[in-house]
Chains A and B, each alone.
Chain A
Amino acid sequence: DSGVTQTPKHLITATGQRVTLRCSPRSGDLSVYWYQQSLDQGLQFLIHYYNGEERAKGNILERFSAQQFPDLHSELNLSSLELGDSALYFCASSANPRDRGNSPLHFGNGTRLTVT
Chain B
Amino acid sequence: AQKITQTQPGMFVQEKEAVTLDCTYDTSDPSYGLFWYKQPSSGEMIFLIYQGSYDQQNATEGRYSLNFQKARKSANLVISASQLGDSAMYFCAMREGVYGGGSNYKLTFGKGTLLTVNP
The interface stretch among B40-48, B62-70, B77-85 is: B40-48
Q: How far is the CA of A88 from the CA of B46 in the complex (A)?
A: 15
Q: Closest Cβ of chain A: how far from B81's Cβ, in Å?
A: 23
Cβ-defined contact, B109 with A31, below 8 A: no
- Across-interface contacts of A50 in B (CB, < 8 A): 103
Give the dominant DSSP class at A's interface: strand
Given contacts A33-B106, A97-B98, 18 further A-B contacts (CB under 8 A): A2-B46, A42-B109, A42-B112, A48-B104, A48-B106, A55-B104, A58-B106, A92-B45, A97-B95, A104-B47, A104-B50, A106-B47, A107-B44, A109-B43, A109-B44, A110-B43, A110-B44, A110-B45
Which are the 6 A-B pairs with shortest beta-carbon distances? A101-B98, A56-B104, A107-B45, A97-B105, A43-B109, A104-B47
Report A's interface with B, CB cutoff 8 A. Answer: 2, 31, 33, 42-43, 45, 48, 50, 55-56, 58, 88, 90, 92, 94, 97-98, 101-107, 109-110, 112
